[in-house]
Structure 1
Amino acid sequence: MTSHSLVIRRLSEALQRANSKASIRWKYSSNSPREAAVLALLADARTDTTATKEMRIEDLGVVLTVRAAGLRRHAGEVSLCGGAVDATDENAVAAAIRETHEEIGVDPRRLAILGPLPSVPDHTFETRVAPFLALVVGGAQNASSSTSATPPNASPAIARFDKLSLVLSPNEVESCFVMKIADLLDSGNQAFEQFRGNAQLRIPTWYGPNNERIWGLTAYIIDNMLKTVIQPAINEQKNNS
Structure 2
Amino acid sequence: MDGAEAGIEARLARALAHPGDASSDYDIDPRLPVPEGRSLRQAGVLAAIHLDGGAARLLLTKRSARLRHHPGQIAFPGGKVEAMDDGPVGAALREAHEEIGLPPGRVEVLGALPPHETVTGFSVTPVIGLLRGAFTPVAEAGEVAEIFSVPLSHVTDPARFRIEGRRWQGRRRHYYVVPWGPYYIWGATARMLRSLAERMNR
The verdict on a shared fold, with TM-score over 0.5 as the criterion, is: yes
What does residue 179 of structure 2 align with? 207
What does residue 29 of structure 2 align with? none
Deviation at 1:134, TM superposition (A): 1.2
Q: Number of paired residues?
A: 189
Residues 175 and 191, structure 2, Cα contact 8 Å, conserved in 1: no
SS of match in other structure, 2:193 = helix
- State the TM-score, normalizing by the size of structure 1: 0.68
Deviation at 1:29, TM superposition (A): 4.9
Which structure features the higher share of strand residues?
2
| Residue of structure 2 aligned with 1:96, choices 92, 95, 113 | 92
What does residue 11 of structure 2 align with? 10
Which structure features the higher share of helix residues?
1
What does residue 194 of structure 2 align with? 223
- The residue type equivalent to 1:134 in the other structure is G
> Residues 66-85 of structure 1 correspond to what in structure 2 (within 5 A)?
66-85=62-81
Residues 15 and 196, structure 2, Cα contact 8 Å, conserved in 1: no
Alignment RMSD (CA, Å) = 2.8
Aligned partners of 2:172 and 2:196: how far apart in 1?
20
Aligned partners of 1:82 and 1:101: how far apart in 2?
9
SS of match in other structure, 1:72 = coil
What does residue 61 of structure 1 align with? 57
Residues 68 and 174, structure 1, Cα contact 8 Å, conserved in 2: yes
- The residue type equivalent to 2:48 in the other structure is L
- The residue type equivalent to 1:102 in the other structure is E
| Residue of structure 2 aligned with 1:87, choices 83, 90, 93 | 83
Residues 15 and 115, structure 1, Cα contact 8 Å, conserved in 2: yes
The share of aligned pairs that are identical, in percent, is: 29
Answering whether residue 48 of structure 2 is matched by residue 41 of structure 1, we say yes
Against the structure 1 CA distance between its residues 22 and 168, is the aligned structure 2 distance closer, same or farther, given a 3 Å change threshold? closer
SS of match in other structure, 1:43 = strand
Aligned partners of 1:103 and 1:178: how far apart in 2?
15
Residues 28 and 121, structure 1, Cα contact 8 Å, conserved in 2: no
Against the structure 1 CA distance between its residues 212 and 24, is the aligned structure 2 distance closer, same or farther, given a 3 Å change threshold? closer
Spell out, residue by residue over 1:84-111, the C-alpha distance to the aligned partner (whole angstroms, 9 max, x if none).
Answer: 1111112110010000000000111111
- State the TM-score, normalizing by the size of structure 2: 0.80
Aligned partners of 2:142 and 2:82: how far apart in 1?
19
Against the structure 1 CA distance between its residues 41 and 167, is the aligned structure 2 distance closer, same or farther, given a 3 Å change threshold? same
Residues 38 and 129, structure 1, Cα contact 8 Å, conserved in 2: yes
Aligned partners of 2:185 and 2:193: how far apart in 1?
9
Consecutive unaligned residues of structure 1, counting only runs of 5 or more, are 138-158, 233-241
Residues 114 and 125, structure 2, Cα contact 8 Å, conserved in 1: yes
Residues 69 and 75, structure 1, Cα contact 8 Å, conserved in 2: yes
Larger Rg: 1
Consecutive unaligned residues of structure 2, counting only runs of 5 or more, are 27-33
